[in-house]
Chain A
């Protein structure tokens, strides 16, 4: 099932050659990212890794499989140098002059808006390292009307993204696009056709999100619920779910010095995970949430409750990557359902 957002729209039909030509033109001003297939780079031998990477032609884009990692690293790198140190001087690294074009599905486009809340709106300051990359982003949204087996973007309200710069339908070698940002019309030339972008309206999986007011009224009950105990036993605190998550944004500061010149070094920020040991360590040895079930509770509640309470929108975009990557086959979707059931039952008590 799919939904039509606007009627009577004109799009441009492209063949692969004219699409590649457009990428060539754009590449003078932009770095262009899309899901790509890296042969033999998967976790298991002889498997591929589907992830985000720079592309230069249509054949580079991988559309048949969900990417294991999200496009968040385009604007929020795994390791980002904040300063170069030379003696007592701090120097901020320069970045590329080029803009950033990202081909991404609506769920992942929405995940950028979720990251915006943390990096640009939380607290009194904007994070300038995030902002200077984020400001460059142009959204080239990939039409996604079927999704994949673990997707639940409709349940989280992230199935639509209308603020795109260009919207693409990839139908084998027939490519149709709707250019919303006129800045890009010079690059795409083809036959004008009727075209209305479509969005998925029903995933194979539907998840009932808990009512946040009901959680607020039963917070201690939900926090101390026995449902979390299972994950103390099953979860191995590897952090894969948070690495693959497009909305996880925690980081740690890390200073290093160069071995061949210890007077010089860098301050970096590196991705951190609330699931992994050490995340809450304070000076002198104390730490919080030592049980893995408590960490699971912390992560899940952030995705479906805490963030929504703070910013008014659910953090999770329903991409299902956490379920795809968990080595213990733990399902976030199932946990959310259990929380919703527990809240509904707890409230009726």
Chain B
């Protein structure tokens, strides 16, 4: 019988700092995940943590990891050539097949951009797969902005609105929460528009409500939940909400389901 807890080695090819505390680790891997799936990432003797896959090709996967705890602190000490240990991918991702030929709006807050970045890059490579892509992305302050180079590239093809909660003296861009910009967002045909919302719990709640106000049907809205998974395979219980296991049925949920997940 296969040992479901046995991780495999993955070599770090490169490390790209995004902010002072967020680094993107590119790992040698032939995993082809669904957009929005996650891995259990570990360092032996330190610990294991669930991390969403922020991008992939058939030669590597990328994990954007914020330094916020024992495991991620240790991961931040690693250098190219070092090994990380991974198992997965786990969970259900975004059903991108159903998004074909539709208008897509992606609203991401902070590190919530990581689990949807691979979708944006998918459309960046194949813009014809969908009718139109609009991106709303918000960070706490200018120094927290992730994937700055990629955001610049996306601006060449798509409508991108970047905002920060609090600017500084040199900031000339938008300020304010993402929700502030939704009422004026150009949405041509709500029934034909898919909305993806990923970010902190409060951001997701109010962002979804704003999109509902704009007439987007509930079943067109998709979210991704962040929970602490210890196993990733429906045993440890940490991510359970009602009878739903976020690691199994999620982390990506349709709004019609996510609104029933009371916690």
Q: A122-B245, A123-B248, A286-B200 are in contact. Are A253 and B231 (CB under 8 A)?
A: yes
Return the chain A residue nearest B72 by Cβ: A283
Chain A's interface size range is: 35 or more
CB neighbours (8 Å) of A129 from chain B are 5
Residue in B47, B69, B237 whose beta carbon sits within 8 Å of that of A253 in the complex? B47
Taking chain A's interface residues, is the majority helix, strand, or loop, or is none over half, making it mixed? Answer: mixed
* Chain A 113-154 interface 0/1 with B at a Cβ cutoff of 8 Å (1 = within): 000001100111111110100000000000000000000000
Is B235 a contact partner of A282 (Cβ separation < 8 A)?
no
Is A126 a contact partner of B263 (Cβ separation < 8 A)?
no
Is B235 a contact partner of A118 (Cβ separation < 8 A)?
yes
Is B201 a contact partner of A286 (Cβ separation < 8 A)?
yes
- Best-buried of A220, A283, A298 by chain B (most CB within 10 Å): A283
Is A262 a contact partner of B245 (Cβ separation < 8 A)?
no
CB neighbours (8 Å) of A256 from chain B are 45
Instruction: Indicate whether A307 reaches chain B with its CB closer than 8 angstroms.
Output: yes
Is A119 a contact partner of B235 (Cβ separation < 8 A)?
yes
A305 to B203, CA, bound (A): 30
A260-296 interface (Cβ within 8 A of B)? 262, 264-267, 269, 272, 274, 279-286, 288-289
CB neighbours (8 Å) of A280 from chain B are 227-228, 238
Instruction: Indicate whether B129 reaches chain A with its CB closer than 8 angstroms.
Output: no
Is A251 a contact partner of B237 (Cβ separation < 8 A)?
yes
Q: How many residues of B contact A (CB 8 A)?
A: 45
B40-95 interface (Cβ within 8 A of A)? 42-49, 66, 68-69, 72, 83, 85
Instruction: Indicate whether A12 reaches chain B with its CB closer than 8 angstroms.
Output: no
Return the chain B residue nearest A130 by Cβ: B235
Q: A253-B231, A283-B68, A306-B243 are in contact. Are A125 and B4 (CB under 8 A)?
A: yes
* Chain A 294-319 interface 0/1 with B at a Cβ cutoff of 8 Å (1 = within): 00001001100111011000000000
What's the nearest-Cβ distance from chain B to residue A86, in Å? 9
Closest 8 CB pairs of A and B: A123-B234, A250-B237, A265-B45, A306-B243, A257-B45, A122-B234, A85-B44, A309-B243
List, sorted by A's number, 22 A–B pairs whose CB atoms are closer than 8 Å.
Answer: A85-B44, A90-B7, A90-B85, A122-B245, A123-B245, A123-B248, A127-B235, A128-B5, A249-B237, A250-B236, A251-B230, A251-B235, A265-B44, A267-B5, A269-B236, A280-B227, A280-B228, A282-B227, A283-B66, A286-B200, A286-B201, A305-B243
